[in-house]
Amino acid sequence: MKYQRIVVSQYGGPDVLHVVEEEVPEPRPDEVRVKILAAGVGMPDIMAREGIHPETPRVPFTPGWDLVGVVERLGDQVSDFNTGQVVAAMPISSAYAEYQCLKKAELIPVPLGLDPAETVSLLLNYVTAYQMLTRSAKVKSGQRILIHGATGGVGTALLQLGRVLGLTMYGTCSSKGAPTVTDLGGTPIDYGRKDLVQEVLRVTGDGVDTVFDPFGGAHMWQSRQLLRVGGKVVAYGTTTTLRAEGLGSKRSGKRNPLHGIPIFGLYIAGGLLLPGKRRIVPYSIQWLKRLRPALFREDAITLIDLLRRLQIKPIVAHRFPLSQARQAQELLAKGGVIGKIVLVSNELKPEKSTG
């Protein structure tokens, strides 16, 4: 039986994404073959395609951090899953495909009846948001938080979870995204302001307890200026630094998960040594998943239960068929997407959705 997957043939722009057709893979004894129903599209996918993300595989490779699918075939040593069972996983790459073989330890059961596109949004975006809130920042009800990029996949997750946790929330966004931030319980702040620091301090009074910063680099230091005494910047990305390397960088594509550690170390040390007790705390979902896989699984199950109980509802901005992965990445790269872009199987109707 044949199946399709998306392959990055060489590092570069969207044109390096190709649809290939191959024989469906057979699971190894400790693996499960999953028929993929939904795969998330995120900035790490684009940066891996460009060859600049710390988790970039060597070419050729299939991108895609997260997926939801149905167990289609079991390996000989697998007895704790059943065919037809819905599961979720975050393999970091390989999700842009119709089928994938995954180790059973990677799989998380998903209750029947949940929208696969909404569920897949939980794995990268919501686990990131939840772990930053509860494990990195250790927020408490009534505290103030500021979310940079508040209308993106992680930003909207932070807003929804922050509301559940009883936080006072502020989010930087465009004028287009302001209604979304308001609807999700936050106060929008226009990131186009000439003096963003002064605007945040004016709106909040004396700053916030935690800032969530996906940009990295010098932007972390600006975020530190927005903190109250004893506050934290949770830095969960190095977008500014990595994208500065450009498409022309001749990276080998070898995974380099330590990329950016020196600059993070410099800012962390500065936060500790300078007066004011305002710290910079790095967060990496892939590192936490590798070092503490049980925590990733626990938090993903918690979030799936919140979705089942309708306490959170991911915003699915667009649903594309797998064959339109290029268009999906092009749309995300343009910016301004509110929520998550998802690739869905032909069994699920691809359509624009606002969640």
Per-residue pLDDT tens for 169-187?
999 999 999 999 999 999 9
Q: Are residues 283 and 305 in the same domain?
A: no
Q: Are residues 255 and 179 in the same domain?
A: yes
Query: For 302-328, what is the mean pLDDT?
Result: 97
- The domain tally of the chain equals 2
Q: How many CB atoms lie within 10 A of CB 288?
A: 18
Answer with the one of 289, 315, 331 that is the final residue of a domain. 289
Q: Give pLDDT, residue 240.
A: 46
| 149 inside domain | yes
| 355 inside domain | no
Q: Which two tokens stand for residue 297?
A: 């699984």
pTM of the model: 0.89
Answer with the one of 289, 309, 330 that is the final residue of a domain. 289
Q: Are residues 258 and 152 in the same domain?
A: yes
d(CA 32, CA 204): 50
Pairing between β-strand 227-235 and β-strand 168-173 as defined by DSSP bridges: unpaired
CATH code of the domain covering residue 239: 3.40.50.720
Q: Is the pLDDT of residue 242 over 50?
A: no
Q: Give pLDDT, residue 354.
A: 45
Q: Are residues 259 and 149 in the same domain?
A: yes
| 351 inside domain | no
Q: Are 236 and 128 in contact (CB under 8 A)?
A: yes
Q: What does pLDDT average to over the chain?
A: 89
d(CA 78, CA 169): 45
| 300 inside domain | yes
Please tell me which residue, 266 or 121, carries the higher pLDDT value: 121
CATH code of the domain covering residue 50: 3.90.180.10
Q: Are residues 260 and 315 in the same domain?
A: no
Q: Are residues 112 and 152 in the same domain?
A: no
Q: Are residues 273 and 301 in the same domain?
A: no
| φ, ψ of residue 72 in degrees (nearest 5) | -110, -30
Q: What's the chain's length in residues?
A: 355
Instruction: Tell me the CA distances in angstroms from 193 to 222, 228, 296, one per residue in order.
Output: 14, 21, 37
Q: Are residues 133 and 273 in the same domain?
A: yes
| 314 inside domain | yes
3-state SS assignment for residue 303? helix
Q: Give pLDDT, residue 180.
A: 97
Kindly report, residue by residue over 43-88, the tens digit of the pLDDT.
999 999 999 888 899 999 999 999 999 999 999 999 999 999 999 9
Q: Are residues 261 and 155 in the same domain?
A: yes
Residue 183: its H or E element: helix 178-183
- Helical pair 325-334 and 43-50, crossing angle rounded to 10 deg: 100
Q: What amino acid is encoded at 336 in this protein?
A: G
Q: Are 105 and 31 in contact (CB under 8 A)?
A: no
Q: Is the pLDDT of residue 353 over 60?
A: no
Instruction: Tell me the CA distances in angstroms from 298 to 42, 63, 80, 123, 293, one per residue in order.
Output: 23, 25, 17, 12, 9
The residue behind tokens 């699918």 is 69
- The alpha carbon torsion through 43, 153, 228, 190 (nearest 10 deg) reads 90
281 CB-contact burial (10 Å; exposed 0-12 / middle 13-18 / buried 19+): middle
Confidence band for 349, pLDDT divided at 50, 70 and 90: low
Q: Are residues 136 and 266 in the same domain?
A: yes
Residue 40's closest CA among 320, 229, 267? 320
| 195 inside domain | yes
Confidence band for 323, pLDDT divided at 50, 70 and 90: very high
| 352 inside domain | no
Query: For 322-335, what is the mean pLDDT?
Result: 96
End-to-end CA distance of the chain: 34
275 CB-contact burial (10 Å; exposed 0-12 / middle 13-18 / buried 19+): exposed
Q: Percentage of the chain with pLDDT > 90?
A: 79
Q: Are residues 308 and 279 in the same domain?
A: no
Q: Give pLDDT, residue 275.
A: 46
Domain hosting residue 256, numbered range? 124-289
Q: What amino acid is encoded at 270 in this protein?
A: G
Pairing between β-strand 144-147 and β-strand 168-173 as defined by DSSP bridges: parallel
| 140 inside domain | yes
Q: Which residue(s) pair with 314 in the sheet?
A: none
Q: Is the pLDDT of residue 94 over 60?
A: yes
Q: Percentage of the chain with pLDDT > 70?
A: 87
Q: Is the pLDDT of residue 258 over 50?
A: no
Q: Are residues 138 and 266 in the same domain?
A: yes
Query: For 133-151, what is the mean pLDDT?
Result: 97
